Amino acid sequence: MAQPVLQGRSILLAIGGGIAAYKSAELVRLIRKAGGDVRVILTRAGSQFVTPLTLAGLTGNKVQEDLFSLTDEVEMGHIELSRAADLVVVAPATADLMAKAANGLANDLASTALLATDKRILMAPAMNVRMWLHPATQRNLETLKRDGVRFVGPDAGEMACGEFGPGRMAEPATILEAIVEALAGPTVIPMPDWQAPAAAAITGPLSGRHVLITAGPTHEPIDPVRYIANRSSGKQGYALADAARALGARVTLVSGPVALPDPPGIAVIRVETARQMDEAVEQALPADLAIFAAAVADWRVEDEAGQKLKKDGNAIPPLRLTENPDILARIARHPTRRPPLVVGFAAETETVIAHATAKRLRKGCDIIVANDVSPASGVMGGDRNIVHVIDAAGVATLPDMAKAEVAAALMQRFAGRLRSGA
């Protein structure tokens, strides 16, 4: 029998004060059925709609209601509660809880947990159609999305209040699907870089801009101990991140597994697989400039083994591969949040410029930076690089330089493109 999809996963469920709270009892049942553990925070208003007794019975855990409950602080304080889970789900997310979370208010247990957590948050809003469409709620929604909060629903339809329109909480089965999807990527949100204010203090042509960069290889697991990888060191991508920061940008660096330390003043998100990188890139949007310098594995193993593959006589295990997400092409054609300038990297071992020119058109990006990574070039893992910058106007080849100098020269060009809006 297949393993339940939420086996070993723990969900912190905050239930707000709306009629849809009764559906959250069903959601708890579905999460439990899928193998997940649930801890509930019930707001004071939420307890008007569903009782702690029902939820304790369904979860098998004590329901948390009070920020200042001393025994709970001793057993599991509000910080621990908000971090012990793999995902925080708010269902129903009331207009009030959304407003508090969007503004960083923390005056009860639910809102404090939302502010203190280091995990992803998924909200399932539920409210009267006018409350949902109110500019204040829509503003809060945008703010929360920018902060990385995910949303499922609301649906449109007839509401308990007799009105019609968007505002009905998504069905529990749909919320469960969103939970499984949210847990597929990295769950811990990296700590915002406390040195970032220093970075923001640098003024330059990229001040006020957000630059998103991917770097390094990806590791695609075969089983818990083996993986498919490539020789990318991440040096060029890290140098680009430093160069963007030096020009005043706020920089997010999504890095595959590399041996390099986190560059100062830069928000670094470490991932392993292509799918995690894709997810982290999506979460980091919007950006003014996105540079995809990572060497993302084109393929991953279709059926990753749950246990280490064993030698079994002479039988050699077949590795069936399947395609990974094409992060560059997806972002270059993003329907709503395409960065104004999208740059791809092409690592080629032959007919470098022709291949890279074709790649630019295929992927839909504005610029391709091509380099020769054949073993003779020494680029992969080395400290120097010769790059060709290919855009709609043609090809410019930069001289042989250290990767840091290549990065600085490229970033000046990109900043110029952004300034001119070309």
Ligand X SMILES: Cc1cc2nc3c(=O)[nH]c(=O)nc-3n(C[C@H](O)[C@H](O)[C@H](O)COP(=O)(O)O)c2cc1C
Kindly list the catalytic residues: 161
- The CB-of-177 to ligand X minimum distance in angstroms stands at 22
**140 interacts with ligand X by CB under 6 A:** no
Among the listed ranges 91-99, 333-341, 377-385, 411-419, the one in contact with ligand X (CB under 6 A) is 91-99
By the rule CB under 6 A, 218 interacts with ligand X: no
Task: By CB under 6 A, tell whether 45 contacts ligand X.
Answer: yes
Q: Shortest CA distance to 211 belongs to which of 292, 295, 304? A: 292
Kind of pairing, strands 384-385 and 401-402? antiparallel
Residues 116-135 that bind ligand X (CB under 6 A): 126-127, 131
3 state SS of 1: coil
Residue from 11, 18, 58, 368 binding ligand X (CB under 6 A): 18
Strand pairing report for 164-168 and 250-255: unpaired
| Residue 97 engages ligand X in binding (rule: CB under 6 A) | yes
CA distance 302 to 321: 5
93 or 328: whose CB is closer to ligand X? Answer: 93
Could you tell me how many residues of this chain bind ligand X (CB under 6 A)? 16
Tell me how far, at minimum, the Cβ of 50 lies from ligand X, in Å: 11
Taking CB under 6 A as the rule, does residue 95 contact ligand X?
yes
Distance in angstroms (rounded) separating the CA atoms of residues 73 and 199: 37
Cα–Cα dist 224/309, whole Å: 9
Among 36, 46, 186, 217, binds ligand X (CB under 6 A): 46
* Omega of the bond leading into 399 within 30 degrees of 0 (cis): no
Nearer of residues 124 and 369 to ligand X, judged by Cβ: 124
Q: Identify the residue among 9, 11, 17, 236 touching ligand X (CB under 6 A).
A: 17
The residues with which 312 forms a beta bridge, in sequence order, are: 315
Residue 399 CA to residue 409 CA, distance in Å, equals 10
Query: How many angstroms separate the CA atoms of 371 and 350, rounded?
Result: 10
Q: Does 94 bind ligand X (CB under 6 A)?
A: yes
Interface with ligand X in residues 274-293 (CB under 6 A): none
Return the percent helix, strand and coil in the chain, to nearest 5: 35, 25, 40
Stretch that binds ligand X, among 14-22, 179-187, 270-278, 322-330 (CB under 6 A): 14-22
Answer whether 324's CB lies under 8 Å from 300's CB. Answer: yes
**Rounded Cα distance, 323 and 314, in Å:** 29
Q: Is-contact 415 408, C-beta < 8 A?
A: no
Name the minimum Å distance from CB 84 to ligand X. Answer: 22
Least distance in angstroms from the C-beta of 114 to ligand X: 11
- Strand-by-strand arrangement of the 10-15 sheet: 37-42, 10-15, 87-93, 121-125, 150-151
Q: How far is the CB of 173 from ligand X (least distance, A)?
A: 20
Choices 18-26, 63-71, 198-206, 226-234; region in contact with ligand X by CB under 6 A: 18-26
Nearer to ligand X by Cβ, of 127 and 331: the residue is: 127
Residue 304, token pair as written in the block: 């990753």
Let me know: does 367 contact 391? Beta carbons within 8 Å: yes
Q: Residue 388: what residue type? A: H
Contact 224, 307 (CB under 8 A): yes
**Terminal Cα-to-Cα distance of the chain (whole angstroms):** 56
Is 96 an interacting residue with respect to ligand X (CB under 6 A)? yes
Residue closer to ligand X (CB basis): 98 or 266: 98
Stretch near ligand X under the rule CB under 6 A, chosen from 16-24, 70-78, 184-192, 246-254: 16-24
- Give the interface segment with ligand X, choosing from 87-95, 185-193, 244-252, 302-310 (CB under 6 A): 87-95
Among 16, 154, 237, 256, the residue binding ligand X under the rule CB under 6 A is 16
Binding mask 178-217 for ligand X (x = CB under 6 A): ----------------------------------------
- Contact yes or no for 9/35 (Cβ under 8 A): yes
Q: Residue 150's beta-bridge partner residues?
A: 122
Residue at shortest CB range from ligand X: 18
Residues of this chain that bind ligand X (CB under 6 A): 16-20, 43, 45-46, 92, 94-97, 126-127, 131
